[in-house]
Amino acid sequence: MRKNELNPKAHGKSWSACLLRFLLFFSIFINLPYPAFALSTDLLLQKLDSHYYYPSQLGLNKLTARIKWLQKDLAASSPKFISHPEVLFSWDSQSDTRIFQVDPRLKRLTETEKEKIKNFYVNYREVILPRSLSQTLLGFKSNQAGKSFFKTTVEYQSPFKYDEIQTYSLDINSEHWRISKINIEKKTPPYNVASQFKYIQKEDKWLVSETLARFDLGRDSYSETTRYTYRKVMGFWLPVKINQIFKKGGDILHFYRFLFSEYKIN
């Protein structure tokens, strides 16, 4: 028989040590962030949305702004930007539509040219005033693809096989309650879209400060880096400058800059 089995004091110390280790582990465990995989996928989106800064959910009802689009002349020997026609952006909470209108003072533009400019800006609707995740993924079917304490991956699939976007795959950081990466499967180019995010905090909520997207077109791979500068306008944090760089491999194809001014709110 072992010595400890003959010594009740030693046996008591052993149990006390085990209990102490358990209590220490449990105290650490209960202070960890609530695991994302413990929530349903609908509640998961609501939890994420509650940590993001959405002006439309913080009292913003109407918004208009003037947007100036500049394009860097990559062939110029010194830094030089080419100015494109300015547009007016408008949004209201009732229709939740984001509208771009070419500045009506630009009489020289044909209707075809105006339409091309508006079609270009359509790609930036969510950049200026993002929709919530719950709105974006409304109707998508979900399933959890992987999980751990500080990271979980959830896939959201379109119920319609003809939708342009078929799948969103979200890597969620449940320590800070924000998305670290999104993978998108599309039926049309670009394919294999993967976006990573950097954030800043405003009023204890997350605002995207930078995105890095990678995607494929044909046999070539491209990247798109977008950086945001915000300013508080009449109580709301809104973008005042966006820089965007498109690359093919290591070569810069486009450098865009968007400047926002003349904000009118509510």
Residue 226 pLDDT > 70, yes or no? yes
Q: What percentage of the chain has pLDDT greater than the value 70?
A: 82
| Predicted model pTM | 0.80
Mean pLDDT score, 138-156: 79
pLDDT of residue 28: 36
Tokens 């695991």 sit on residue: 35
pLDDT of 230 higher than 60: yes
pLDDT at 78 over 50: yes
C-alpha to C-alpha distance for 37 and 55, rounded to whole angstroms: 28
CA distance 150 to 194: 20
- Is 1 or 48 the better-scoring residue by pLDDT? 48
How far the first Cα of the chain sits from its last, in Å, is: 83
Higher pLDDT, 6 or 146: 146
Cβ contacts of 12 within 8 Å, gap of 6 or more: none
Q: Name the nearest CA neighbour of 47 among 169, 140, 159, 170.
A: 170
- Cα separation of 194 and 173, whole Å? 16
* Average confidence (pLDDT) over 246-254: 93
84-142 pLDDT, tens digit each: 989 999 999 998 889 999 988 887 888 898 889 988 998 888 888 889 999 999 889 98
Q: Write down the pLDDT at residue 21.
A: 47
Across 167-194, average pLDDT: 92
For residues 169 and 179, what is the distance between their CA atoms, to the nearest angstrom? 10
Identify the residue with better confidence: 230 or 6. 230
Q: Which of the two residues, 58 and 40, has the higher pLDDT score?
A: 58
Q: Which of 15-19, 113-117, 131-135, 243-247 has the lowest mean pLDDT?
A: 15-19
Evaluate whether 173 touches 180 at the Cβ level (below 8 Å): yes
Confidence of residue 148 (pLDDT cuts 50, 70, 90): low
pLDDT at 29 over 60: no
> Over the chain, what is the mean pLDDT?
84
